[in-house]
Each structure stands twice: as C-alpha cells, then as structure tokens.
C-alpha cells in the first residue's frame, strides 16, 4: 500500500477511535446513577415467611423475595434492606436486638429512596386483635360478635392514642436522617374480606359479627399511617383498593395474605410471595418508578 494511502487510513482510524472514546465518555458522564434505596419496616416489609430467607440476619426473618428486593431488581436500585420482623416504630431509633441497630442508622444524606411498612406491631395491634377474635370465634362457634362485645374500642383507642403519635415521630426521624430522599409509607393490604365468608372459618376462625370489627381496626391503622405520612411530607401508598378481593380468605394464587390456619407459610396472616410482588408493583406505580 502506498505510504500516502496508509497515512490516510491511519488518520481516519485514529479519528474514529477518538470519536468513539469521546462518545463513550459522554455517555458515561450522562448515565443515570442507580437509586440509593434503603428499605425499613416490619415483617410486612421484610417478607417474613416468604422463601428464600436472607441468611445475613436470621433474627429478622427477612426474605430476599420481599417487596424491597422486587423493587430493587426492577429498577436497578442499590438496595440496603434493614427491614426486620416484629419491628415497631421505636426500632427506627432504638436497637431491636443485639446486632440489629436502629433502622434509621442505614440512612444518610445520599439516600434517594426509602420505603417502609410500620405501626402494626405497636401495642400488639395485629397479633392481639387477631388472637383475641380468633379465640372468641372458636368459643362462640363463629356466631355473633364476641370479640367486639368484649374489647369494644380498646384496639382503636390504642391506635389513636399511641400508634399515631409514634408513627409521626418515626417518620420525622426518617426525614431527618435522609433529608433528600423520597419516602414512601405503605399501608397494610386487607387481611379480612369486606363481609363474613362462612367457608373461611376454618382458615380464619373469626365470628361473623367480628369480621367487620377486625377489618375496621385495620382500616383505622391504615388511616393513621396515611395521616402521619401526610403530616410529615411522606408519600402514602394505599392498598385498600388494589388488595380488595385478595384477603386471607381467598384461595392460593389469589390471596396476597396467608390465613391463620391451613395456609402455605410458616408466618400466618402475612403477605405471601404474590402479595410481596403486588406490593412492590403498586408502590412502583404510585412513585412513578420504572
């Protein structure tokens, strides 16, 4: 090849390589960084009972298929999951177990996104109400409203007097620790159906008249989560509509929540894998995440 032709080829090649390198540098400079995502919350956030279990901390019974992991996988976010089964609002700022530090310690000024589900364990709201009403339902043969007759407004009174201010304090601690983050507080998907289902009694032994009573307690809890979220500048993710028809009385493959008895999870009255996925999808829709 003549020298002058060779020089032209070499010059053209060098220019092409330079242009490509410049393009790659420019693309790298303008690439969207992944979200710095921290997941907080209780067993509904942790996905307790959903396999596989995260081996990094067995005390928290955290699943690697919980809704935070689903969100991270679908968005490419960099996830720090500190969710923990049995967590209460106090565990945002206090250690839950030895070796399990306060959850807000995972937050920083660099955090972009925070999700959480919290409040259901305060005052033992879920476990006490379900246990009390389940026991009363068995003793009454599923008739009447023995749980409501005995406990009246006591669960609602605790939610209003104790859980509501605790939620506001917890959410304020999140906002203070991650001032630039978008924070989403998720409500709890329906556990009970809208009306009593006699065919469900073996799975959820709640008396006919106590089904609306228990559902009302959960509705009140979700309402104070929403109220606390609005008052602290946090996005509330409402599941009251999308989880209708997916309660614990529904068959496997439809229900998002496992029943108290004869379910498919070691942790009853908690979301199954389908429920965790649907919680993730609805949260992404509300937050506009892709």
Q: Choosing from 34, 43, 91, 154, which is the catalytic residue?
A: 43
CA 45 to chain centre: 3
End-to-end alpha-carbon separation of the chain, Å?
Answer: 54
Q: What region, left, alpha or beta, does residue 184 occupy, with left being phi > 0 and alpha being psi -120 to 50 degrees?
A: beta
Known catalytic membership, residue 45: no
Q: How many CA atoms lie within 13 Å of 238's alpha carbon, on the beta-carbon side? A: 9
Q: Is 15 exposed, middle or buried (0-12, 13-18, 19+ CB in 10 A)?
A: exposed
CB 191 within 8 A of CB 248: yes
pLDDT in tens, the chain (290 residues): 444 433 444 444 444 434 444 444 444 444 567 999 999 999 999 999 999 999 999 999 999 999 999 999 999 999 999 999 999 999 999 999 999 999 999 999 999 999 999 999 999 888 899 999 999 999 999 999 999 999 999 999 999 999 999 999 999 999 999 999 999 999 999 999 999 999 999 999 999 999 999 999 999 999 999 999 999 999 999 999 999 999 999 999 999 999 999 999 989 999 999 999 999 999 999 999 97
Exactly one of 69, 91, 270, 282 is catalytic; name it. Answer: 270
Catalytic residue list contains 270: yes
Query: pTM score > 0.75 for this model?
Result: yes
């Amino acid at each position: 090849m003549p020298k002058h032709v060779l020089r032209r080829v070499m010059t053209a090649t060098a220019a092409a390589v330079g242009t490509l390198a410049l393009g790659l540098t420019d693309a790298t400079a303008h690439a969207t960084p992944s979200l710095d995502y921290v997941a907080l919350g209780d067993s509904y956030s942790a996905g307790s009972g959903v396999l596989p279990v995260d081996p990094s901390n067995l005390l928290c019974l955290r699943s690697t298929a919980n809704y935070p992991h689903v969100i991270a996988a679908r968005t490419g976010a960099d996830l720090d999951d500190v969710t923990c089964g049995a967590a209460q609002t106090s565990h945002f700022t206090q250690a839950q177990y030895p070796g399990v530090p306060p959850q807000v310690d995972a937050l920083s000024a660099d955090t972009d996104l925070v999700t959480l589900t919290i409040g259901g364990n305060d005052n033992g709201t879920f476990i006490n109400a379900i246990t009390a009403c389940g026991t009363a339902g068995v003793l009454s043969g599923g008739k009447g409203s023995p749980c409501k007759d005995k406990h009246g407004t006591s669960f609602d009174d605790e939610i209003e007097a104790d859980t509501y201010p605790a939620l506001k304090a917890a959410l304020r601690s999140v906002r203070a620790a991650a001032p630039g983050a978008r924070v989403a507080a998720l409500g709890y998907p329906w556990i009970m159906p809208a009306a009593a289902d006699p065919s469900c009694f073996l799975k959820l032994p709640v008396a006919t008249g106590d089904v609306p009573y228990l559902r009302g307690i959960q509705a009140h809890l979700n309402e104070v989560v929403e109220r606390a979220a609005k008052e602290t500048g946090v996005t509330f993710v409402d599941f009251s509509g999308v989880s209708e028809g997916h309660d614990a009385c529904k068959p496997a493959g439809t229900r998002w929540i496992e029943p108290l008895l004869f379910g498919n999870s070691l942790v009853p009255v908690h979301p199954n894998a389908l429920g965790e996925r649907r919680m993730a999808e609805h949260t992404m829709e509300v937050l506009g995440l892709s």
